[in-house]
């Protein structure tokens, strides 16, 4: 396994935000009609670029001009246990917070399910949600828009990053961005999940700031001038949509790629071998296959998705 990626920015001290309407949850009401907009950070405890954004906006006292604005630090316990010697371990405490949202009718028996129950009423209230994530491996930023047309349309309105990923989530459990009305095509409520880049790259913070500024302005609860100067970056010339068709999971944790693959790399020919799982070849199912977030630098366990395969939407 290669060396740990560098940590290129200072992590914020978040304990000062513990006391809110719920622990590490803050709501600001404008007193005027408008949407409820939620920006969530630390759905995984080591995905820190979003925490930098939310910490900064809380410190600067951003307030909505209409509607209501919710800020949350989701898996705060995992974040507070971050150890730079083993930085990937603080992704979670007991289980993945972002796979619990289909089980909230069941007893909460883990740190993450208990925290999801705390966050549930705020997520349900939100008309628009931005969930700020980052990646284990280096890769280009990705906007995960879910399976519905409304998510893709919203991602296009945001206007960045280049790649919009249309996907149905994870077999291991429902994501927060797909929960409730966000996953209902008849509902006007909408959610996006941004993967800003590798967890601790300074560039990930730049992406998180840009997308958050775009998102908040697009919802209409703030004006562009209310947001910190310099957050908005130039828009890409165009965006493209990649529709995920396959999610390849390792059966027993023994997957080995044939080489290092870059995120969003396109493989020209169907049948190209990408790697072997328990000595069985994993191949591309069609020509011009896009590799979405391929694993290249992580220990694997049974059931972990090692790559998603997608094709460019027409």
Report pLDDT for 56: 98
- Give the residue, 113 or 136, on which the prediction is more confident: 113
Contact present, 219 and 35 (Cβ < 8 Å): yes
pLDDT at 171 over 90: no
Section 205-234 average pLDDT: 97
The predicted-structure confidence for 56-104, as pLDDT tens digits, reads as follows: 999 999 999 999 999 999 999 999 999 999 999 999 999 999 999 999 9
The predicted-structure confidence for 173-207, as pLDDT tens digits, reads as follows: 899 999 999 999 999 999 999 999 999 999 999 99
How far, in Å, CA of 192 to CA of 163, rounded? 13
Work out the burial of residue 219: count CB atoms within 10 Å of its CB; fewer than 13 is exposed, 13-18 middle, 19 or more buried.
Answer: buried
In which band, very low, low, confident or very high, does the pLDDT at 2 lie, cut at 50, 70 and 90? low
Q: How many CB atoms lie within 10 A of CB 162?
A: 15
In which band, very low, low, confident or very high, does the pLDDT at 211 lie, cut at 50, 70 and 90? very high
In which band, very low, low, confident or very high, does the pLDDT at 1 lie, cut at 50, 70 and 90? very low
Report pLDDT for 254: 86
Q: Where are the domains of the chain?
A: 15-226, 244-312
Section 51-57 average pLDDT: 98
Contact present, 53 and 40 (Cβ < 8 Å): no
Question: Are 15-226 and 244-312 equal in CATH topology?
Answer: no
CATH code given to domain 15-226: 3.40.630.10
Three-class secondary structure of residue 256 per DSSP? strand
- Give the residue, 249 or 240, on which the prediction is more confident: 240
Handedness of CA 252, 256, 257, 261 (dihedral sign): positive
Mean pLDDT of the chain: 94
CATH code given to domain 244-312: 2.40.50.100
Report pLDDT for 298: 61
Section 138-166 average pLDDT: 97
Work out the burial of residue 77: count CB atoms within 10 Å of its CB; fewer than 13 is exposed, 13-18 middle, 19 or more buried.
Answer: buried
pLDDT at 299 over 80: no
The values of phi and psi at residue 256, to 5°, are: -135, 120
């Amino acid at each position: 396994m290669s060396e740990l990626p560098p940590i290129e920015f200072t992590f914020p001290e978040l304990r000062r935000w513990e006391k809110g309407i719920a622990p590490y949850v803050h709501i600001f009401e404008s007193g005027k009609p408008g949407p409820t907009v939620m920006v969530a950070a630390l759905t995984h405890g080591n995905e820190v670029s979003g925490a930098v954004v939310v910490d900064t906006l809380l410190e600067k006292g951003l307030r909505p001009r209409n509607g209501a604005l919710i800020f949350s630090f989701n898996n705060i316990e995992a974040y507070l246990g971050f150890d730079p010697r083993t930085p990937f371990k603080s992704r979670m405490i007991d289980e993945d917070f972002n796979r619990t949202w289909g089980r909230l009718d069941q007893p909460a028996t883990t740190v993450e399910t208990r925290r999801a129950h705390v966050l549930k009423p705020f997520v349900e209230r939100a008309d628009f949600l931005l969930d700020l994530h980052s990646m284990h491996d280096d890769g280009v930023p990705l906007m995960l828009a879910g399976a519905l047309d409304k998510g893709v349309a919203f991602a296009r309105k945001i206007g960045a990053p280049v790649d919009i990923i249309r996907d149905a989530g994870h077999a291991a459990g429902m994501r927060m961005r797909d929960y409730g009305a966000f996953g209902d095509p008849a509902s006007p409520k909408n959610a996006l999940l941004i993967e800003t880049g590798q967890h601790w790259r300074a560039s990930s913070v730049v992406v998180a700031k840009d997308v958050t500024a775009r998102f908040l302005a697009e919802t209409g609860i703030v004006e562009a001038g209310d947001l910190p100067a310099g957050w908005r970056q130039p828009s890409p010339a165009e965006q493209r949509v990649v529709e995920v068709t396959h999610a390849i999971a390792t059966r027993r944790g023994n997957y080995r790629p044939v080489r290092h693959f870059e995120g969003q790399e396109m493989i020209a020919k169907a049948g190209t071998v990408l790697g072997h799982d328990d000595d069985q070849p994993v191949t591309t199912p069609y020509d011009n296959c896009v590799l979405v977030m391929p694993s290249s630098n992580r220990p694997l366990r049974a059931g972990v998705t090692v790559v998603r395969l997608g094709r460019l939407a027409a």
